[in-house]
Structures are given as C-alpha cells and as structure tokens.
C-alpha cells in the first residue's frame, strides 16, 4: 500500500491525550495512525518537535464577498485562515451584500465562493425582521445554523443585515426549533448600548474607554438572559457568539443545567487584549462586545481554565483602513470589528497552553472538536481514522513578531501587529493537501469545498 502522505514523528493531539505517532493519509482521509508507519508514501513530512493537531474550525468569520469584496474576499480571507492554521470556517450572514437572509442571497454567496477558497467552508443564514418565511428555504439550501443580532448592526444599506425585535426573536426561535436547527446570537441590549453611545457622543466623550463604557457587561448579560428565556419558551437550540464576560458564561451554563441546549464561543481578543491595551492600540482593536478590563479578563480566563468556554472563534470582521480612521479621533465613528483570524491558533496556544498551562487537549477541544460536533461537520475536528485529514503542524518553540508583510488579509491592519507570539503554525493540510507551508507561504490551488448541511 502506498499512501499519499505520511506525517511522521510529531506529537499528535488526540481527544484525550498527546502521543508521538505517525499518520497516514489516503484520498484526503486519515487511514492509519501508529507508533511507526513503514509503508511508502508519495510525500512524507517530518513533524519531529512539533504538535500535530486538527486544523481550527473557525465558526465565526465575516467574508464580505459578494458586494463588499473590497473589505475582504474569499481568496484573501481564506489565505489568511490557511496560514493561521484554520482548515474550515463558517461564514457569517452579514457584511457581504446582500446579507445571507434569502435563498437568492445564499445562491449568490455560493456562486461567489466557487473556486476561491483555500480551506473548507459552510454558511450561516440570517434571522432578520421579515424573513421568517425564508428560514425553511435557507435550511433547504444547506445553512449550518442561523444568526441574529440583538445589538444594532454596524452596517445600514438596504440589503444589509438588521437586528431582531423581540417578536422576530421569539417567532424566529419557534420556527428554527421546528426546523431542528440552531440559532446563534450576538447578545447585547441594543436600546441601552445605543442610548449610552449617544449620551457619550453628545458630551464629546469619544475615547476607547468611553466606547467600552457604552457597552457595559450587564448589557451582554441582559441580552443573554432574555434569549435564554425565549429558548425555554420555544425549545430552540442556541449558540452565543463572541461572549466577552464570565457573568454571561455563568448564565449560559446555568441554563444548560436547566435543560436548554446551548453553547457559547469566545474569541482570542477577549483573552489577549484589555481595555487599556485597546486604548494604546487604537481603532484596530475596536469590536463589540468591547474588550474588557483586566479584572473582567481574568474572570474570563478562570472560566476558560474551568472548561466553560465551548469554542474559540476569530470573529474576523475586516474593513478597509479608512474605516478604522477618524479625523476627530472618535472611537464611536470607526468600524467595530477585528481583523485577526491569521494569528488565532498560535496566539491562543501561546496565551493558554504555554503561559497558563491549559492542557493542549482542552485547546484542541475549543478550536476544533467542539465546533465540529456542535455544527455537525461530521468529517472534521479530530485526528482519528476516517476523518478528513485537516491537519496542522505547530512549532511550540518558534517565536515571531506579527508584521503587516506576513498577513494575507486584503487589508493588513490588525491589533496584533508588533506583538511577539512564542509559537507558530508551520504547515496546514486540508483533506491531505498542503495549503500553507511556512517556508513557501500559500501553496497549491484554492481547493476549499462547500460543506452542505443536512439536519
């Protein structure tokens, strides 16, 4: 038997342990795992001294194509994902035009994505006021889940995404439950955050600290609690995106114990950047919910160490540089969204595994295994026989400084520029094919495939 690819001598991260092993790949699948595999292969990769793990499944990415490809397109966005160690991503239904809220918009997304992706991908559909009748057709088209905003969205063209009113949230959950689907929620109280922002701006209070103060933790907790209450009424399965506070985590876990089928994600920036650092970095670090102070961040780290964070996602929400600039230094004016997906695996490995001794199996659970299970990407998320060979190599001892030149994004701004990261993704394989190699950069063709979802 001649294999297509052998990955030899690495420290392989399995579900429950890390073991030195060889991995054989044939036709894009993992076909053998053993201490030593002696058979021949077309290609052999020496992974000695490196961790071999499943590629990240980034369940929260905003590719802005079609319609706003000048913000970020499939090609540039997925090169960045591949270079950062992501092998599958789920695209959010907003920032492209039109927003993915009808089957027609879904078809436009699918067509625009064809032949441009370096990693595999699935799509979210949107729940917005007025599209209840479109939820079934989006399910039929293959969306992996639905997404809604309880906060006000940052874009406002006619074809853009709109946040839900209570009626839409409630009836949407009922319908999504009937469809056997899941609703993902951006949970912040729109009315309070909008009014606090207006108050601040009226007083000329427009710094990073003022922006953060306009979106206090309780506005996230409030939205989380209300959504959980609606979930209890409707039986809808929920997933909370980009949770920024330990208080929200606790509410979600409490509801889970009470029987709600609910998960949550958080993002590297909530663990790696504080409000004070946001003030120093400037608009590149603006996002919503905002980056929290040291005390809140420490509580979130505690939650992570206790295994309460189901998954990590990038919330890669890019924009052109002009939108991250304000003539009057008004933090409310600039785009809220972080360009960061390329550094997520190594940054979080550095912060969690290296600096805070989080077990590497826990890290892999958060970046790959749980997202695969929750979004039912059945061929993905784990190094076991018969799964797709979506595999990355990570060198735990290679430090580097993030520089614009290394970034594949359409626009090379990111809050992590100038940051030293003490480990590095060195190779990325999607279904056994190399898409990134540290020495050569992006390699091969855009081989990424759409993963249609069936309930």
| Selected binder of ligand 1AL within 77, 93, 172, 336 (CB under 6 A) | 336
Task: Tell me how far CA of residue 250 lies from CA of 27, 315, 367, in angstroms.
Answer: 43, 21, 21
CB closer to Zn ion out of 6 and 249: 249
Q: Should residue 77 be labelled a site residue for ligand 1AL when binding is judged by CB under 6 A?
A: no
| Selected binder of ligand 1AL within 95, 131, 339, 344 (CB under 6 A) | 95
R_g (Cα) of the chain, nearest Å = 21
Residue 336 touches which of ligand 1AL, Zn ion, none (Cβ within 5-8 Å per kind): ligand 1AL
Q: Should residue 411 be labelled a site residue for ligand 1AL when binding is judged by CB under 6 A?
A: no
CB closer to ligand 1AL out of 101 and 317: 317
Cis-peptide, bond into residue 3, ω within 30° of zero: no
CA 69, 75, 76, 82 torsion-angle sign: positive
Which residues of the shown chain bind Zn ion in the complex (CB under 5 A)? 186, 315, 317
CB closer to ligand 1AL out of 95 and 274: 95
Minimum CB–partner distance for residue 315 and ligand 1AL (Å): 5
Minimum CB–partner distance for residue 337 and ligand 1AL (Å): 4
Whose CB is nearest to ligand 1AL? 287
Q: Should residue 337 be labelled a site residue for ligand 1AL when binding is judged by CB under 6 A?
A: yes
The first and second tokens of residue 89, run together, are 């991503």
Residue 269 touches which of Zn ion, ligand 1AL, none (Cβ within 5-8 Å per kind): none
**Are 49 and 88 within 8 A, CB to CB?**
no
- The full DSSP string for 389-421 is --EEEEETT--EE--GGG--SSS---TTTT-EE
Per residue, the 3-state secondary structure of 332-375, as one string, reads: CCCCCCECCHHHHHHHHHHHHHHHHCCCHHHHHHHHHHHHHHHC
Any idea which residue has 């309880």 for tokens? Answer: 150
CA distance 358 to 6: 29
- The full DSSP string for 223-278 is HHHHHHHHHHHH--EEEE-S---HHHHHHHHHHHHTT--EEEEE-HHHHH--HHHH
| Selected binder of ligand 1AL within 12, 81, 82, 153 (CB under 6 A) | 153
Burial class from Cβ neighbours inside 10 Å (0-12, 13-18, 19+) for residue 375 reads buried
CA atoms within 13 A on the CB side of 59: 33
Residue 428 touches which of ligand 1AL, Zn ion, none (Cβ within 5-8 Å per kind): none
Stretch that binds ligand 1AL, among 150-158, 372-380, 388-396, 427-435 (CB under 6 A): 150-158
Q: Which of 376, 452, 391, 420 is nearest to 43 (CA)?
A: 391
Stretch that binds ligand 1AL, among 7-15, 149-157, 162-170, 201-209 (CB under 6 A): 149-157
Cis-peptide, bond into residue 98, ω within 30° of zero: yes
Q: Should residue 287 be labelled a site residue for ligand 1AL when binding is judged by CB under 6 A?
A: yes
Minimum CB–partner distance for residue 217 and Zn ion (Å): 16
Bind-site residues: 60, 62, 147, 186, 242, 315
Count of residues in contact with ligand 1AL, rule CB under 6 A: 14
Q: Residue length, the chain?
A: 455
Residue 136 touches which of Zn ion, ligand 1AL, none (Cβ within 5-8 Å per kind): none
Bind-site residues for Zn(2+): 60, 62, 147, 186, 242, 315
Minimum CB–partner distance for residue 147 and ligand 1AL (Å): 9
| Selected binder of ligand 1AL within 28, 67, 154, 172 (CB under 6 A) | 154
CA distance 91 to 112: 13
CB closer to ligand 1AL out of 31 and 272: 272
Could you list the residues that contact ligand 1AL (CB under 6 A)?
62, 94-95, 153-155, 186, 242, 287-288, 315, 317, 336-337
């Amino acid at each position: 038997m001649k294999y297509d690819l052998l990955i030899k001598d690495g420290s392989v991260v399995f579900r429950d342990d890390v073991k030195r092993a060889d991995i054989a790949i044939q036709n894009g699948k993992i076909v053998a795992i053993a201490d030593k595999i002696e058979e021949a292969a077309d290609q052999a990769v020496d992974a000695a001294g490196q961790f071999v793990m499943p590629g990240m499944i980034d369940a929260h990415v905003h590719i802005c194509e079609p319609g706003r490809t000048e913000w970020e397109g499939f090609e540039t966005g997925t090169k960045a994902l591949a270079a950062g160690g992501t092998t599958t991503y789920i695209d959010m239904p907003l920032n492209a035009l039109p927003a993915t809220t009808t089957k027609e918009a879904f078809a436009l997304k699918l067509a625009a994505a064809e032949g441009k992706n370096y990693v595999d991908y699935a799509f979210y559909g949107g729940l917005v006021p007025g599209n209840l009748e479109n939820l079934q057709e989006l399910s039929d088209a293959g969306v992996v889940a639905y997404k809604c905003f309880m906060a006000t969205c940052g874009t406002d063209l006619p074809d853009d995404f709109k946040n839900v009113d209570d009626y839409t949230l409630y009836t949407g959950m009922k319908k999504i439950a009937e469809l056997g689907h899941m609703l993902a929620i951006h949970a912040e109280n729109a009315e309070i955050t909008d009014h606090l922002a207006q108050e601040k701006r009226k007083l000329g209070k427009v710094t990073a600290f003022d922006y953060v103060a306009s979106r206090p933790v309780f506005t996230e907790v409030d939205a989380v609690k209300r959504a959980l209450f609606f979930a209890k009424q409707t039986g809808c399965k929920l997933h909370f995106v980009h949770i920024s506070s330990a208080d929200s985590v606790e509410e979600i876990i409490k509801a889970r114990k009470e029987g709600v089928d609910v998960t949550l994600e958080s993002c590297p920036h909530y663990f790696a950047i504080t409000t004070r650092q946001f003030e120093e970095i400037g608009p590149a670090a603006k996002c919503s919910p905002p980056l929290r102070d040291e005390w809140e961040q420490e509580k979130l780290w505690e939650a992570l160490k206790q295994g309460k964070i189901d998954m990590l996602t990038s919330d890669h929400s890019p924009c052109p540089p002009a939108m991250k600039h304000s003539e009057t230094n008004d933090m409310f004016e600039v785009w809220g969204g972080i360009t960061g997906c390329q550094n997520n695996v190594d940054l979080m490995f550095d912060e969690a595994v290296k600096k805070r001794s989080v077990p590497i199996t826990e890290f892999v659970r958060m970046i790959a295994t749980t997202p695969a299970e929750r979004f039912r990407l059945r061929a993905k998320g784990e190094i076991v026989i018969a799964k797709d060979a979506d595999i990355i190599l990570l060198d735990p001892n290679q430090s580097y400084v993030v520089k614009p030149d290394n970034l594949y994004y359409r626009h090379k701004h990111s809050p992590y520029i100038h940051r030293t990261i003490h480990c590095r993704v060195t190779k990325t394989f999607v279904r056994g094919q190399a898409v990134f190699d540290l020495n050569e950069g992006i390699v091969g063709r855009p081989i990424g495939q759409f993963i249609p979802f069936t309930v």
